[in-house]
Chains A and B, each alone.
Chain A
Amino acid sequence: MAFRTGGPPVEPAPDQPPKYQIRGLDLFYHGGRTQVLHRVGVDIGRGLVTAVIGPSGCGKSSFLQVLNRMVDEIPGSRVEGLVELDGDNLYREDLDVVVLRRRVGMVFQAPNPFPRSIWDNVAFGPRVHGVRSRSRLNELVEASLRRAALWDEVKDRLHHPALGLSGGQQQRLCIARALAVGPEVLLMDEPCSALDPAATARIEELIGELRGQLTVVIVTHNLQQAARVADVTAFFLHGQVVEVGPTAEFFTRPRDRRTEDYVTGRYG
């Protein structure tokens, strides 16, 4: 008997290349004086939800910032090794970072809507990328808010200030804002750590719905959250990948002793 694990069955076809292919990734800060990632080699499966877990300071957030070149904004940082998005070197010199950021959206720990209306927040990205038609923008705003499971709650007050929304709604607004430009990848850095359990559950449901439509990488401190939402889980420790595997296996019989110790709380 086969049990469904929730959500649409998303299995990466064996012939499907990974969304990201990362080999021998080193990341340095402070002009090379600090190394935060060491020889990281990992594939990020296309259309899957990948959770990245590990203790504070293990390099998991830095890893996320490598995936959309946000790390470029940190003075004195340097990336070495291979990071490919759809087989294309992410760190080649002539890569258009603006185009990249449209393909790879990001949601942060604290909801950070712009101090504008709900509508303006969602329409912001498409406008930056040149969408001018009001009716087209209206369509994009509605579609994105629907995908972020926020439409029904805000459709009657689209021109109210975004900062008037609850924390959980603000976070879903930020997700809608990221979705509005049609990204292929969504990076989420602790997206629920500032939210109450009900708001957290809604975001997790939403991640489940996005599964298959785009590739999601989520950094979380909450092991149960990783277990609930992720197809694949990766464990980082001291800037290295200790173990990557299917989530169900990862949390029932991890292969590496260090993973075992971390997920059972035997690591202080």
Chain B
Amino acid sequence: MADTRSSFHAQLQNLQDAIETMAVMVEQAIHRAVKALKDRDLALAQQVIDEDPAINQTELAIERECLRLIALQQPMAQDLRAVSTALKIITDLERMADHARDIAKIVLRMGGRPHVKPLIDIPRMAEVGQRMLRQAIDAYVRRDEAPARQLVELDDEVDHLYNQVFRELLTFMIQDPRLVQPATYLIFVGLHLERIADHATNLGEWAIYLITGQREELNP
């Protein structure tokens, strides 16, 4: 089949490549923020904070490109969905990066003091969140609904872990009021990770829209 708009379609491919790159930056930010927490590595936390503006710049560049393509190419059907999906995806990606940055800020505030308990569930939440991000982007890039649909289960797992973290830390605080501040910091971290998983689910919803043209809520 002849493609009469091959140069435009090459530009859509570039747009998709840029989103993949942005997703890698976001995944790295989440990974580093939680590693900084685990290792009490203030320098690494600072690095996550310093690199956040680059992610914001990437979002703006992709947004500009989307608006340029709409104005100059008047995309239709799957091409229109590709551009509108890109516009929505970058918003979720940027929010995820903000949560990673906020976790890094908490690490700085904790000032390298020892943790109130060994961290197990929080790193696990981060792992699942990163996996969700990779799967959503995979669904988007390969136009494959299956990895997007699996996000429901993973999101449930993150929610479950967060409840566990919350209840456990609450017990600590009740037993020893001196732990209220460090335990609250960890609850905030859990909350940020829980939000990251929600945004990854949104990404999956956009991937499904791109493929089917239908908006559906994965985790209503």
Interface residues of A (CB under 8 A from B): 223-224, 227, 251-254, 259-261, 263-268
The answer to whether A265 touches B213 (Cβ under 8 A) is no
A residues in contact with B9, CB < 8 Å: 266
C-alpha spacing A254/B76, complex, angstroms: 10
A residues in contact with B3, CB < 8 Å: 265-266, 268
The answer to whether B77 touches A260 (Cβ under 8 A) is yes
11 sampled A-B residue pairs with Cβ under 8 A: A251-B77, A251-B80, A252-B77, A253-B77, A263-B76, A264-B78, A264-B79, A266-B4, A266-B9, A267-B2, A268-B2
C-alpha spacing A268/B2, complex, angstroms: 5
* Count, A-B residue pairs, CB within 8 A: 47
18 new A-B pairs (CB below 8 Å) besides A259-B77, A268-B3? Answer: A223-B76, A227-B76, A252-B76, A252-B77, A252-B213, A253-B81, A253-B212, A253-B213, A253-B214, A260-B78, A264-B77, A264-B79, A265-B8, A266-B2, A266-B4, A266-B9, A268-B2, A268-B4
B residues in contact with A268, CB < 8 Å: 1-4
Q: Interface size on B (CB < 8 Å)? A: 18
How far in angstroms is the closest Cβ of chain B from A103?
34
How far in angstroms is the closest Cβ of chain B from A6?
17
C-alpha spacing A266/B213, complex, angstroms: 18
Q: A224-B74, A265-B8 are in contact. Are A252 and B2 (CB under 8 A)?
A: no
Main secondary structure of the interface of A (DSSP, over half): helix
The answer to whether B1 touches A267 (Cβ under 8 A) is yes
The answer to whether B5 touches A264 (Cβ under 8 A) is yes
The answer to whether A266 touches B76 (Cβ under 8 A) is no
A residues in contact with B79, CB < 8 Å: 264
Question: Residue on B with the closest CB to A265?
Answer: B5
Nearest 7 interchain pairs by C-beta: A268-B2, A253-B213, A265-B5, A263-B76, A265-B4, A264-B79, A263-B77
The answer to whether B1 touches A266 (Cβ under 8 A) is yes
C-alpha spacing A261/B76, complex, angstroms: 10
B residues in contact with A224, CB < 8 Å: 74
B residues in contact with A251, CB < 8 Å: 76-77, 80
C-alpha spacing A227/B1, complex, angstroms: 24
